[in-house]
């Protein structure tokens, strides 16, 4: 019993059938962005077909933040579609990257409405892995 509680607390054992997956996007490459979205959709369907739940996060930082840029994202239509069809998929934008981009351009970085800002994309990925999330970098 103690071992089970310790494993549950450490994130190594997931309650129920919930799967937790975090994707890493750090390149301004439309092909990789689309592959990431394809992978997320495929995983979502796979677990849904098995009757299991999945929580999926797509974390962007560095050049990958362009995935969530309101004016320049090459995949903004797909992200809008995800928001309408998958309530278990979220998109994270790195505040550190945004600050650097603002310093360079002198302007705030406009994000898609689906984006949620995290303090640090890298630290968010580390935190999720420590919590037992599966890590994928397409």
pLDDT value at residue 42: 97
pLDDT value at residue 102: 96
pLDDT value at residue 48: 93
Global pTM value: 0.87
Separation CA 4–CA 70 (nearest Å)? 44
Separation CA 67–CA 70 (nearest Å)? 9
Residue 87, pLDDT above cutoff 50:
yes
pLDDT above 70 coverage of the chain, percent: 88
Q: Is residue 132 classed as helix, strand or coil in its secondary structure?
A: coil
Cα–Cα distance list, 75 to 66, 67, 95, 133 (Å): 9, 7, 20, 25
Instruction: Note the pLDDT tens digit of each residue in 23-35.
Output: 999 999 999 999 9
Q: Which domains does the chain have, with CATH numbers?
A: 18-136 (3.40.1260.10)
Mean pLDDT, range 37-48, rounded to an integer: 96
CA 34 and chain centroid, separation: 13
């Amino acid at each position: 019993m103690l071992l089970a509680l310790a494993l549950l607390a450490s994130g190594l054992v997931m309650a129920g059938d919930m799967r937790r997956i975090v994707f890493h996007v750090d390149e301004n490459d439309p092909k990789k962005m689309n592959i990431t979205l394809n992978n997320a959709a495929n995983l979502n369907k796979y677990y849904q077909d098995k009757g299991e739940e999945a929580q999926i996060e797509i974390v962007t930082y560095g050049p990958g933040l362009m995935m969530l840029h309101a004016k320049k994202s090459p995949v903004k239509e797909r992200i809008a579609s995800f928001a309408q069809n998958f309530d278990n998929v979220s998109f994270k934008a790195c505040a550190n990257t945004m600050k650097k981009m603002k310093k360079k351009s002198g302007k705030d970085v406009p994000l898609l409405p689906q984006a949620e800002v995290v303090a640090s994309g890298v630290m968010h990925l580390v935190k999720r892995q420590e919590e037992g999330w599966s890590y994928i970098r397409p």
